[in-house]
A and B are shown apart, each in its own frame.
Chain A
C-alpha cells in the first residue's frame, strides 16, 4: 500500500488491525516523505531512523503477539521540548544543544506503553517563545502551503510536519496558542486540552501555570485518540487532575448532528483589524454549525482584551524562574568563567537567543521588588476576571466559536523586527490558557492566496467532549481537512 504517510491514525490503525500494512511500512513511508521534502520544509531537527524502525518492528511483533490499540505502531513527531528518553531535547535552543533526555515525559511514557513510535524531534520557537517558529536557534520551518510563509508557532515544526504528510500526527505544547495557531496556519487540527488534563511532567516548562501538551493531527478523531492516551492524573504532576478519562474517540458519533447544542459567539473576538477573509470563513463556519442543528447565542468576554498584557506578564514572570536552571553547571552548554556568576553570564549570553532573553528580562522586571504588585499581582487579578467571563459564558452555551488568528500565515521575516506586533496576534488564543479551559482549532477555509484558515472551538474546563463533538461534526460535513498542499 502506497503513501501510508498521508493517512490518519484511525485509518492506519484499521489497516494495521486488518493486516493490510505494517508499522515498519508506515515508518518507511514517513521517512521517504521526510527525505523528499523536509529539505524545503525544515520541520525536523533530528530523526532517529534506526530507533524508529526498531520501535516499529517491536510494535509489529507485539501486534503479532496479540497486542492491540489505536496507537500501536503509529509514528509520531515530537516537539523538541518533550523529554523522550535517549533522544535530544533542545527546545530549539543552543543552550541545550547536545543534551540527551534521561527520562520519558509522562505523556510520552503513556504513548510508549500504547505502542507509539517516536520518530523524530520537530522544530519550534526557542523554548516555545514565539508565534512563527522563527526564533528557533537551528532552522526556519516553512509553511507547506506556501513556503514563503511561516508555519506559525511555537509548535510550527509539529504543524508543518503533519500538513506536509511528513508525520501521521505530532505532539505540541500550548502556552498562549502554540498548538492552535500553527494548526490553523497549516490547515491541521490542534487541541489545547484543559489545564491539568495531561501531565506536564517531562514537558520543559515555559510558563508552568499555562503550559499544556496537546496533539496536532489531520482529523478531530485523531486528536481525540491522542488525548485519551495521554490524559489522566499523574503522581509526578501535582497540577494534573484526578478525573476519569472519557472514551473521547468513541464518543464521536457519525450522525454529525449538533441538535440541542448551544454555541456561543463572543462579539469581542471579531477584533478590529481582522482579515476579512478570516472573518468570512469563521462566520460561514458558524452558519454551517447552525445548519447542523446548533443554536447560536451571543456571549460576551469583555476582559479578553486584556489577555495579551496579562499573558506577557504572567508567562514571562514564570519563564524567568523556569529558565534559570539553564546555567551550564549540570547539563547543556557551558562557557567557563572565573566564578559561577561569570560562568552563568557567559553561558546564558551565548546559549539563549534574543526573544528568550527579552522575555527573561521582562519576567525578571515584573517580579522585581517594588514592581510586583503593580504588574504580577495585578495581572493575576485580571486573569481571574478573564476566567470569570468564561465561567459566565459557559452558563449560556456548550462551546464557543471564534477565529484562531486575526490573519492567515504571514511571510517569513515579516514580523520578526516588531515583537509587539507578533505578540498581538495571540489576542484570540491567550485568554484560553489564562482561563485554563480547552480549545480546538479545525480547518474552516482558505484565503484567496491559498493559505488555510482555522476555526477555534472553546470548551469549559474538562469539557473536551463538547469541543471534539462540534469539531468532528463540522469537519466531517466539510472538506477543508481533506485538502493537502501540493509539492513539486
Chain B
C-alpha cells in the first residue's frame, strides 16, 4: 500500500499481554487487580536482599499456548536474562526477561482488513515480569508494587504492517485470540494489553527500512490508529521537506492527537543484558508441547466456521457473534438448549445487543441466561408467543431474570389461536372498515393488512398473525 504513490509505511508492534495467572511470575504473591496498594508483595517482588525468583509454571504454559495459538515454534531450550535499568517501577533495578532465547519463535496472525484477508508475521514471544505502578502528583511519587513481578508476555511482530488499519486489525485479532485462548482477559482498562508501535517510512521500491520511530506504551487501539496516522504523515513531511527522520522514542499526546519526542538514539539505554544466574534454562519436551496442543481451545475463526457449517448461520451472523468471546460463549451455551440457532442469533444481534448498549452492561453481567434465551426461541418457534412479546420477554429477562414460561403466563403474553376470539375480531374488522374490504374485493390484496392491523390492535398484539390472515381470508372470500 503506497501513500501518494511515493511512500510506504512499515509498522511493527511489540504487544505486552498480562497473562491470566493466579500468582506472580517469580513469587507466590497473588495477581489481583484493585487490591490496596502494596498488599500483594513479598521479599521476592520487592527485591529484598537475598530473595530469589522461582518460575511460575502456569505462566510458561500460557505463554507457550499463546505461541501455539499463533502458530509459533516452541523453543525447546529457552533461557532468562537480566535487563538492567534504574527506575522505581523495577524493584531489583533489573527486569528478568528473555533476550536471545525466547519461549516462542515465529508465528502469524491471519485476519481481515477492510474485507481483504492478510497475514501478519510474528518474530517471537518472550516471557518477562511486569513493572510496578508509579503514580505522580504534586505531593510526590508513589509506587504500588502489587503489579511488580506479574507475568507479562511480549508478542513481537515483524514490520509487516503498512497502515493504521492493518495495525488496528492486527490488535483486534490478537486480542480475540488471547481472550478465546484463555491466555489473558485483555481488559484494556486494567492495562492487560499495551503496545509499543514502531513506525518507519520508505520510498516505494526501497528495500531497506527507514529510520524507526518507536511510540511507547499505548493501550487504546484507537489511539494507536491515531498515533500511526500522525506519525506516517509527520515522517513523510520531514522527508518531503528534505529532512531526515531521526531514530527515536516518541510519546503520544491523545489530547492533541500528536506524537512528541522523548529520547533519541544517542541517549538510549544500554541495558547490559546478561544471563540470569538465579534461574535455570527452560527445557520443553515434545510430549509437553503435544499435551498443550491437545488442550487448546477453539479460536474465533474456527468458531465462525462451525457456526456456518454446523449451525447453518449466515457468515455475517457468525462474524458478529464471534467478535466478542463472552457473546460467542453465551450463544454457544444457548444453542446447547435449543435447535433454533438462527432465532437465537437474531435475538443476540438484535434485542440483546440493543439492551447491552442501552443498559451499558455486558450480556454476562445481565440477568439473562443462555437457557432462558433458548426457551424464548422455542416459545416463538412453537407459536406460543409472537415476536413483539418475545422482545418484551427478553427485556424482562435481561433486567430482572426469571422463568420465561412463568413470565409469559403471568403477563398473559401468549398468542391467541382460539378461533372464536379470532372470528369475533375478524368480523368486527370487516364491519368497521368498509373501504378496505371494498379495495380487497376490487383486487387489492394488500389492503388486508389494514384489517389485520385492526385485529392486532384489538388483541393487544396477542393474536397469532398467520391465523388472523387465514381467518380474514376465510370471511372475505366466502
Contact = CB atoms under 8 A, between A and B. Distances in A.
A binds B: yes
Interface of B, helix, strand, loop or mixed by DSSP: loop
Interface stretch (A28-36, A148-156, A195-203, A275-283): A195-203
A367 B50 contact: no
Contact of B47 (A202, A325, A367): A325
B274 A204 contact: no
Contacts of B84: 320-321, 324, 367
A239 interface: yes
Interface in A184-223: 200-205, 207-209
B272 A367 contact: yes
Interface in A57-115: 81-83, 89, 91, 96, 99, 101-103, 105
A341 interface: yes
A207 B278 CA distance: 10
Contacts of A325: 47-49, 91-93
Nearest to A211: B277
Interface stretch (B52-60, B163-171, B211-219, B348-356): B52-60
Nearest to B280: A238
B274 A329 contact: no
Interface in B72-95: 82, 84, 86-88, 91-94
Contacts of B396: none
A367 B274 CA distance: 7
Contact of A235 (B54, B88, B143): B54
B270 interface: yes
Nearest to A202: B50
A238 B52 contact: yes
Interface residues of B, number: 30
Contacts of B46: 330
Contacts of B53: 238
Contact of B51 (A91, A201, A317, A318): A201
Contacts of B273: 367, 372
Nearest to B53: A238
A344 B90 CA distance: 13
A341 B86 CA distance: 8
A368 interface: yes
A376 B274 contact: yes
Contacts of A341: 86
B49 A238 contact: no
A129 to B, nearest CB: 15
Given A91-B49, A204-B50, A239 B278 contact: yes
Contacts of B141: 340
A238 B277 contact: no
Contact of A327 (B86, B270, B280): B86
A128 B30 CA distance: 34
B56 to A, nearest CB: 12
B43 interface: yes
Given A89-B49, A102-B48, A205-B50, A329 B88 contact: yes
B84 to A, nearest CB: 6
Q: How large is the interface on A (under 10, 10 to 19, 20 to 34, 35 or more residues)?
A: 35 or more
Contacts of A89: 49-50
Nearest to B84: A321
Contacts of A329: 88, 91, 143
B138 to A, nearest CB: 15
B87 A340 contact: yes
A237 B236 CA distance: 53
B160 interface: no
A444 B141 CA distance: 59
Nearest to A207: B277
Given A201-B50, A204-B50, A372 B93 contact: no
Interface string A357-384: 0000000100111001000100000000
A322 to B, nearest CB: 8
Contact of A368 (B93, B272, B279): B272
A132 to B, nearest CB: 23
Interface string A232-246: 000111110000000
Contact of A200 (B52, B54, B94, B272): B52
Interface string B87-118: 11001111000000000000000000000000
A235 B278 CA distance: 13
A344 B88 CA distance: 10
Interface of A, helix, strand, loop or mixed by DSSP: loop
A71 to B, nearest CB: 21
B471 to A, nearest CB: 79
A331 B54 CA distance: 23
Given A208-B278, A368-B270, A324 B92 contact: yes
Best-buried of A89, A235, A325, A364 by chain B (most CB within 10 Å): A325
Interface in A314-341: 317-318, 320-321, 324-327, 329-331, 340-341
A327 B91 CA distance: 9
A321 B82 contact: yes
B274 A330 contact: no
Given A238-B278, A368-B272, A203 B50 contact: yes
B46 to A, nearest CB: 6
A94 to B, nearest CB: 14
A121 to B, nearest CB: 13
Nearest to A369: B270
Given A324-B84, A325-B47, A327-B86, A364 B272 contact: yes
A324 B93 contact: yes
Given A96-B49, A329-B143, A238 B54 contact: yes
B22 to A, nearest CB: 17
Contacts of B49: 81, 83, 89, 91, 96, 99, 101, 204-205, 325-326
Interface string B320-337: 000000000000000000
Nearest to B270: A369
Contacts of A321: 82, 84, 92-94, 272, 274
Interface of B: 43, 46-55, 82, 84, 86-88, 91-94, 141, 143, 270, 272-274, 277-280
23 contacts: A82-B50, A83-B50, A89-B49, A102-B48, A200-B52, A201-B52, A204-B49, A205-B49, A208-B278, A235-B54, A236-B54, A317-B274, A321-B82, A321-B84, A321-B92, A325-B47, A327-B93, A329-B91, A330-B47, A330-B48, A340-B88, A367-B273, A368-B272
Given A207-B277, A236-B54, A239-B280, 15 more contacts: A82-B50, A83-B50, A91-B49, A239-B277, A320-B272, A324-B84, A324-B86, A324-B93, A325-B48, A325-B91, A326-B49, A330-B91, A340-B88, A344-B86, A372-B272
